[in-house]
Structure 1
Amino acid sequence: MTTFPAPRAAPSEPVADARLRRRRRLAMTCWTAAFVAGWLGIGLPIDPVYAFVWLWSAAIAWNSHRPWREHLRFGRDWLLIVLLLVAYNLSRGFADNGATPHVLELIVTDRVMFGWLTDGQVPTVWLQRRLYDPDAIRWWDVLVSWVYFSHFVAALAAAVVLWLRDRDRWAAYLRRFAFLCLAGLATYFAYPAAPPWWAAKYGLLEDVARISTRGWSAVGMHGAGNLLNAGQLGVNPVAAMPSLHTAFALFVVVFFLSTTRRRWWPLLLAYPLAMTFTLVYAGEHYVIDVLVGWAYVGLTFVIVGAAERWWRSWSAQRPQHPVGEQTGEPTGLVGVAVGGGHRPGAGVEVDARQTE
């Protein structure tokens, strides 16, 4: 009588979870090492395509156990978004159309609002006279450089996390993100405005240094800002109103605030405030630019939220189709635009439903 060995039992769930965690730690460690090497050798990933490559590779590393068709779906879902960001960056460079930028009214507005606190100076001049030393880099200069850089990755990194966890929220996030981008771009065309460093360069304001990237040299990262400095030279210098840097910082916080435990709220809300200090101190924006940027965030949530409610109401009134019949429900990138899209977590491993 021939005997056969008993079939090997499938690994228990805790064992499988432990293997997945070890695999993710190894993959993310390799990704981090490659990212740091690229950062030091090439520069910070501020270009949308370059940043997308790193974000896509991070998603692959985190979900390396998933089939490749899932990773290819990431590229498909994000392709139009990356192209829109590239077009947005290029179009900013033409927003002024050769017109004389608005400067004096921004200076006057900041002086009227804050002159009683800053001895009649605009806040940028007041801060730099007290905190900026051209011969020495302080710890806050290093912090300013990190906060400034976060603008180029925070909003996109949050979108990647949403794509991995909940596709419906990812689509809702991107609808608001795209609306905020387009609203800012339209304003740049309608109202080209110059930042404090530009006004100082042309003698319209006291000396203001552009110091948003100087902090990295203090920690030995001399090449970290190469791409960022080159990018600053290539974009439109009179696209200061509104400040989308601080608008995106507030946007990310507001989007996640309702699903975040209240004990973390002070930490989250500190981020747009830190971005505000960074932009004003570094000579990138006036305070009025920041306030208008915050107002744009509020309008974005109101307008897009109203459009989504209208879409749901309209969809509910459409005739119901039998099961299995084509309904014409939008999916993919079209669904992102009009409110449809993927089911929550479709085809991905859902790690959590709430930001802790």
Structure 2
Amino acid sequence: MTIKNVRLVLLVAYGALFAWSFSANGLPVARLAVLGWVGGAFLVGNIGKPFAKQRQMVVDLVFYAGMWLAYDYSRGIADTFGFPLQVEAPRNIDRAMFFGTDPNAWMQHHFLEGAVRWYDVLGSLVYFTHFFVPVATSVYLWIRYRDQWL
């Protein structure tokens, strides 16, 4: 078995481990948990590659983690400087786009029936994909096409 095949098997095993963890613990949404899973994927995806690529992976991962943590801490910095969380502006933009109707309230009024329907489950699954699909895609693209990112 070639190292490339070993790497592929380990990535599939890592994906299975993530799926098990997801079913047992739910979707990791805490920044450090996400970084841990992403870091693990980077490490497994780099198995068997030359030392220079390993070193570059560490540099890239530190940059990626720094970006995520800076984003996370920016909320605290905004609070320190007295910038409140913006909740009314997005709602007002929605209302302007939908001619005075709040689309979230409209959707709840028309679709909330008190019982969970098939489309509620589908909508929840689609919503949850935004937590991991962009991250998983970026890890895959980095592993597969890092040279084209730069």
For the criterion TM > 0.5, the same-fold answer is yes
CA deviation map 1:221-250 (0-9, x unaligned): xxxxxxxxxxxxxxxxxxxxxxxxxxxxxx
Deviation for aligned residue 1:132: 2.0
1:110 equivalent to 2:89? Answer no
Deviation for aligned residue 1:27: 1.4
CA deviation map 1:65-105 (0-9, x unaligned): 33566445312222022122112112224435265856279
Output the CA distance in 2 between the equivalents of 1:26 and 1:147.
27
Q: Of 153, 159, 163, which residue of structure 1 is paired with 2:132?
A: 153
Which amino acid in structure 1 is aligned with residue 70 of structure 2? A
Q: Of 36, 48, 55, which residue of structure 1 is paired with 2:31?
A: 48
Output the CA distance in 2 between the equivalents of 1:160 and 1:104.
33
1:39 equivalent to 2:39? Answer no
Matches within 5 A, 1:297-308: none
> How many aligned positions are there?
148
Give the aligned partner of residue 123 of structure 1. Answer: 103
Output the CA distance in 2 between the equivalents of 1:95 and 1:153.
26
Unaligned residue ranges in structure 2 (runs of 5+): none
Whether the 8 Å contact between 1:162 and 1:169 is mirrored in structure 2 is: no
Provide the secondary structure at the position in 1 that maps to 2:28.
coil
Give the aligned partner of residue 57 of structure 1. Answer: 40
Deviation for aligned residue 1:112: 4.2
Identity %: 31
Output the CA distance in 2 between the equivalents of 1:68 and 1:100.
44
Matches within 5 A, 1:181-330: none
Q: Of 95, 120, 138, which residue of structure 1 is paired with 2:78?
A: 95
TM-score in terms of structure 2 length? 0.71
Give the aligned partner of residue 138 of structure 1. Answer: 117
- Superposition RMSD on alpha carbons, in Å? 3.3
Provide the secondary structure at the position in 1 that maps to 2:78.
coil
CA, structure 1 residues 169+154, in 2 after alignment: closer, same or farther (shift >3 Å)? farther
Whether the 8 Å contact between 2:91 and 2:102 is mirrored in structure 1 is: no
Return the index of the structure with the highest Cα Rg. 1
CA deviation map 1:316-340 (0-9, x unaligned): xxxxxxxxxxxxxxxxxxxxxxxxx
Output the CA distance in 1 between the equivalents of 2:89 and 2:4.
58
CA, structure 1 residues 31+106, in 2 after alignment: closer, same or farther (shift >3 Å)? closer
CA, structure 1 residues 152+169, in 2 after alignment: closer, same or farther (shift >3 Å)? farther
CA, structure 1 residues 85+61, in 2 after alignment: closer, same or farther (shift >3 Å)? closer
Output the CA distance in 1 between the equivalents of 2:49 and 2:21.
26
Which amino acid in structure 2 is aligned with residue 132 of structure 1? L
Provide the secondary structure at the position in 1 that maps to 2:116.
coil
TM-score in terms of structure 1 length? 0.35
Give the aligned partner of residue 27 of structure 1. Answer: 10
Whether the 8 Å contact between 1:56 and 1:75 is mirrored in structure 2 is: no
CA, structure 1 residues 113+101, in 2 after alignment: closer, same or farther (shift >3 Å)? closer
Deviation for aligned residue 1:106: 4.1
Whether the 8 Å contact between 1:159 and 1:170 is mirrored in structure 2 is: no
CA, structure 1 residues 30+105, in 2 after alignment: closer, same or farther (shift >3 Å)? closer
Unaligned residue ranges in structure 1 (runs of 5+): 1-14, 172-356
